[in-house]
Chain A
Amino acid sequence: MISKNFGRLETHLRDQRSKGKKLLVPYITAGMTPQWLELVVAIAQAGADAIEIGLPFSDPVMDGPIIQKSSSIALERGTTTDQVLESLAKLELEIPLIVMTYYNLVFRKGDHSFSSALSKSGVSAAIIPDLPLDEIEPWAQAASENNIETILLVAPSTNEQRLQDICSQSRGFIYAVGLLGVTGLRKNLSETALELSKKVKSVTDKPVLVGVGISNLDQAKKACQQADGVIVGSSLVQKVLNGAGEEEVFDFIHQMRKGIDLI
């Protein structure tokens, strides 16, 4: 199945897209509840195309209050990188897993050890928001040697030339940051999300997903008019913080799945 040029994640997302589907990638913070792994399974069963697993970091500058809170809870519960990867290795999911974390956790282990550990636990890709294009080496090299796709972010503030460079370097998909700000709930989908998606789509045929500021089905639908799909983080994490279990998480993601499939 895996093509020569694309990694597992990108191959999967391209396949889904070619079937006319919009792409849904939910985010959850590893270790935020004792049952987080069951929640990952529920998310997969509800129809996610891939799942973004947050490895909690003490200083998450790209994240708003909700994901910050889930990260502190996870760390207070003693969550470590090794534990999370061991747990993920036990999962047998049909969809690819993406790890999202900050560079210090990677750097501490070493680019090679970290990417090799991801690979061994069955993870396909990584998002490291504080590792922009300018600092991407030596990580990207190590990651690619271990078959880990590195997903890069583009922002509404990214200029034309940079946008092209990022699109050509990014693997898996292009993460279009919907607005200038950190993750969190927003009342309305920012106009910048649509403009940016359109711009990115015009320079690449890689899948383009909008993240940051997708809080509900309406916003997801709207974003999908331009983009190939969405990343849903804070709204899901907020539900889990409120005590949502497998059933509620399944329903939320399932509704979202059905909703964007109708587009």
Chain B
Amino acid sequence: MIGKKNLGEMEQKITQQKNASLMARPTEEGRFGDFGGRFVPESLIPACKELEEAFIDAWSDESFKDRYHQILSQYGGRPTPVTTCEQLSKVLGVKVMLKREDLAHTGSHKINNVIGQGLLAQRMGKTRFIAETGAGQHGVATATAAALLGLECVVYMGSKDTRRQELNVFRMELLGAKVESVESGSKTLKDAINEAMRDWVASFDSTHYCIGSVMGPHPYPWMVREFQRVIGDEARAQSVELGIGVPDFVIACVGGGSNAAGTFAGFVDTEANLVGVEAYGGAAIGQGSPGVVHGSKSVLLQDNDGQVTEANSISAGLDYPGVGPEHAFLNSIGRVKYEQVNDQEVLEAFQLLARTEGIIPALESAHALAYVVREAGKQIPTSSTVLITLSGRGDKDVAQVRELLK
């Protein structure tokens, strides 16, 4: 495949040209190949179009971009560093570097997206900011951006999750947000999304729906990827500064897929092997099939009738039965490989990073790490250079891990 030395030069050039056009703008209908689109009730079509126009306008406006980058640097702690892991590299026999999104404000990459959408909401004259959240990371980030930018904030969260993540509920409330506990359906992330969409149908005049991942109707998958590409753009420049050039492997965990999309966007035109790692219990690409939910065509976990089924993994952040449409596309053309790791492998990688490098990763991020731990010297040849996006810090998971290790 891509990067193999026996490719003819011509072929290689063609591949590079093809890759250069990847992760650019989707079609006008919001398609990435067969995937994407805008499968929402008629009432929401004008809201999606208004947002699309506002985003296109803002993203080509240097003053908007400057403000976005300025907030991310002065408030959000960007650029986040790339850390070379000496001990872990010795253990694994491959050179491991971590893109440290865990060091961004609120403890994960989610801040990049919410600052972008918050500024956009202001620009559109919206005064209310709503979001869904699973484990609470995106909810906390949204509440943070709302507090910073003076927006009223409501976060929808499944009632199962409000119980599991009481502290995050309190955190959001401290930040001035109202948390709505969702009792419908499976009472988890997917139902929180449904409820946020129902709110938006009735409120889009004054309200912006801040979706937390590269999913939903057009322009969300594209827009959220663009607000997250700062991860990949920074990491690419940092890899050069570290004397690595382009890493052999670039790896990130995938639930909805926003940190992975942002990371891959910086490397898709290179010869790096891109790997997205899904949770075994929530592997939409690995175990799902094509379908339409939450506004776009992608792949998802469902039964024979087309009823969406529940994901179930150790990490609430990856407990989503679908995946962003652009990932479904990148998988279909083979540019990104999607792999799965199980809960046990994740727990081991979680502890290994803590002991060897003094970093406690989010359970979500530990999935990307677990793949490297398992495949170093196998799928990932010895001495390869490997960049892993550490999407968040693990403080939120410590209590759960303690229970699991008892």
Contact = CB atoms under 8 A, between A and B. Distances in A.
B185 A130 contact: no
A180 B202 contact: yes
B294 A104 contact: no
B66 interface: no
A59 B185 contact: yes
Contact of A64 (B38, B43, B190, B198): B198
B305 A108 contact: yes
A38 B191 CA distance: 32
Interface in A42-87: 57-62, 64-65, 68-69, 72, 75, 80-82
Contact of A108 (B37, B40, B46, B306): B306
Interface residues of B, number: 37
A157 interface: yes
Contacts of B203: 180
Given A61-B198, A64-B198, A180-B201, A132 B41 contact: yes
Contact of A59 (B40, B46, B293): B293
A75 B292 CA distance: 19
A104 B304 CA distance: 11
Contact of B202 (A60, A104, A132, A181): A181
A60 B191 CA distance: 10
Contact of A58 (B197, B198, B295, B307): B307
B340 interface: no
Interface in A151-170: 152-159, 162, 166
B63 to A, nearest CB: 30
Contact of B197 (A61, A72, A80, A162): A61
A164 to B, nearest CB: 14
Interface string A113-156: 00000000000000001111111000000000000000011111
Given A72-B185, A104-B306, A134 B292 contact: no
Nearest to B49: A159
A89 interface: no
Contacts of A179: 202
Q: Max chain A CB contacts within 10 Å: which of B190, B204, B308?
A: B308
A157 B200 CA distance: 13
A152 B42 contact: yes
Nearest to B309: A58
Contacts of B197: 61
Contact of A109 (B40, B47, B292, B306): B306
B306 A105 contact: yes
B30 to A, nearest CB: 9
Contacts of B291: 104, 107-108
A104 B293 contact: yes
Interface in B18-41: 29, 37-41
Contacts of B190: 59
Contacts, number: 120
Contacts of A59: 185, 190-191, 194, 293-294, 308
Q: Max chain B CB contacts within 10 Å: which of A59, A154, A181?
A: A59
A15 to B, nearest CB: 27
Contacts of A129: 41-42
B45 interface: yes
Contacts of A98: none
Given A61-B197, A104-B308, A135 B42 contact: no
Given A108-B305, A108-B306, A132-B38, A58 B185 contact: yes
Interface size grouping (class) on chain A? 35 or more
Given A107-B291, A109-B306, A135 B185 contact: no
A68 to B, nearest CB: 5
B77 interface: no
B41 A105 contact: no
A175 to B, nearest CB: 9
A177 B194 contact: no
A180 B199 CA distance: 10
A14 B276 CA distance: 55
A103 interface: yes
B33 to A, nearest CB: 15
A62 B41 contact: yes
Interface string B194-221: 1001100111110000000000000000
Q: Max chain B CB contacts within 10 Å: which of A64, A105, A129, A134?
A: A134
B294 A153 contact: no
A181 to B, nearest CB: 4
Interface in B53-87: none
A81 B42 contact: no
Interface string B159-170: 000000000000
Ranked 4 nearest A-B pairs via Cβ:
A108-B306, A181-B202, A155-B43, A105-B306
26 contacts: A57-B306, A57-B307, A59-B293, A60-B194, A61-B41, A61-B197, A61-B201, A69-B184, A104-B291, A104-B302, A105-B305, A107-B290, A108-B302, A108-B304, A130-B39, A130-B295, A132-B38, A133-B42, A153-B43, A155-B41, A155-B43, A157-B46, A157-B47, A180-B204, A181-B202, A182-B198
Interface of B: 29, 37-43, 45-47, 184-185, 190-191, 194, 197-198, 201-205, 290-295, 297, 302, 304-309
Given A61-B198, A108-B305, A135-B38, 7 more contacts: A62-B41, A68-B185, A104-B292, A104-B293, A157-B42, A158-B42, A159-B46
Interface of A: 57-62, 64-65, 68-69, 72, 75, 80-82, 103-109, 129-135, 152-159, 162, 166, 177, 179-182
